[in-house]
A and B are shown apart, each in its own frame.
Chain A
Amino acid sequence: QQPVQSPQAVILREGEDAVINCSSSKALYSVHWYRQKHGEAPVFLMILLKGGEQKGHDKISASFNEKKQQSSLYLTASQLSYSGTYFCGSHTTDKLIFGTGTRLQVFP
């Protein structure tokens, strides 16, 4: 079952913040986050392994609530380079399944 992401799309002005949510109907053992720019391959951002774990990468961070089977990606003070489609990935027993995707557009 594919994780569900919300919102489906976000439009931001440079400097604004955004939150992308990922929810799974099955138990999440780990959560991956990837970003895909138009016409390119998805690129890894971060992995969260434990419930409650939070990670940061520049001004992009994420949290993982294992109990609720949810993860959220936080983009702070967005930059033009943040534009793209963000995917969460559910990794169970070596099988990596991606969420429905969230398209983020940042304008000057």
Chain B
Amino acid sequence: DAGVIQSPRHEVTEMGQEVTLRCKPISGHNSLFWYRQTMMRGLELLIYFNNNVPIDDSGMPEDRFSAKMPNASFSTLKIQPSEPRDSAVYFCASSLTGQNTEAFFGQGTRLTVV
């Protein structure tokens, strides 16, 4: 398997624009996590899905952020409108369900909002 695949790797956009980040989890994994990493806040859990259903989105910072998982092999994280403070590295990770399973991370999307 190619691992968790995220696109794009880098995104530079202007404030106010819509940004969509994409993630393809490892085939067979039924848990998917979106994280945001910044120097100030570390690795924050934004939302996680189990069997394509959003289970906990309490980490989503505000209504400008939304995430979907239309099927087992694809998820998106959308920011509309984007703001400079959204600049961060966004990671997607997938795992099998359960506390004894490791999470596999994608290479991340570095987002810069100017």
Q: Answer yes or no: do A and B interact.
A: yes
Main secondary structure of the interface of B (DSSP, over half): strand
**Cβ distance B42 to chain A, nearest Cβ, rounded Å:** 5
> Within 8 Å CB of B43, what residues of A?
42, 87, 98, 101
Closest to A97 in B: B45
In this assembly, does A49 line the interface, its C-beta being within 8 Å of a C-beta of chain B? yes
Size of the B side of the interface (Cβ < 8 Å), in residues, is: 26
Given A43-B105, A44-B104, do A92 and B45 touch, yes or no (CB 8 Å)?
A: no
Given A41-B105, A41-B106, A43-B105, do A94 and B42 touch, yes or no (CB 8 Å)?
A: no
Q: Please tell me which one of the listed residues A2, A41, A47, A92 contacts residue B107 in the complex, with CB atoms under 8 A apart.
A: A41
Contact call A95/B102, Cβ cutoff below 8 A = no
- Residues of B20-79 whose CB lies within 8 A of A: 31, 33, 35, 42-45, 48, 50, 55-56
Contact call B55/A94, Cβ cutoff below 8 A = yes
Contact call B105/A32, Cβ cutoff below 8 A = no
A101 to B42, CA, bound (A): 7
Closest to A2 in B: B42
Given A95-B45, A95-B48, A97-B45, do A44 and B31 touch, yes or no (CB 8 Å)?
A: no
In this assembly, does A29 line the interface, its C-beta being within 8 Å of a C-beta of chain B? yes
Q: Please tell me which one of the listed residues B42, B56, B93, B106 contacts residue A95 in the complex, with CB atoms under 8 A apart.
A: B56
> Within 8 Å CB of B93, what residues of A?
96
Contact call B105/A42, Cβ cutoff below 8 A = yes
Q: Please tell me which one of the listed residues B33, B42, B107, B108 contacts residue A96 in the complex, with CB atoms under 8 A apart.
A: B33
Chain A interfacial positions (CB closer than 8 Å to B): 2, 29-30, 32, 40-44, 47, 49, 87, 89, 91-92, 94-101
What would 23 A/B residue contacts be, using CB atoms closer than 8 Å? A2-B44, A29-B99, A32-B103, A40-B107, A41-B91, A41-B107, A41-B108, A44-B102, A44-B104, A47-B102, A49-B99, A89-B103, A91-B99, A92-B99, A94-B31, A94-B55, A94-B97, A95-B56, A96-B45, A96-B95, A97-B45, A100-B42, A101-B43
The 6 closest A-B pairs by CB, nearest first: A41-B105, A44-B102, A98-B43, A30-B99, A91-B99, A101-B42
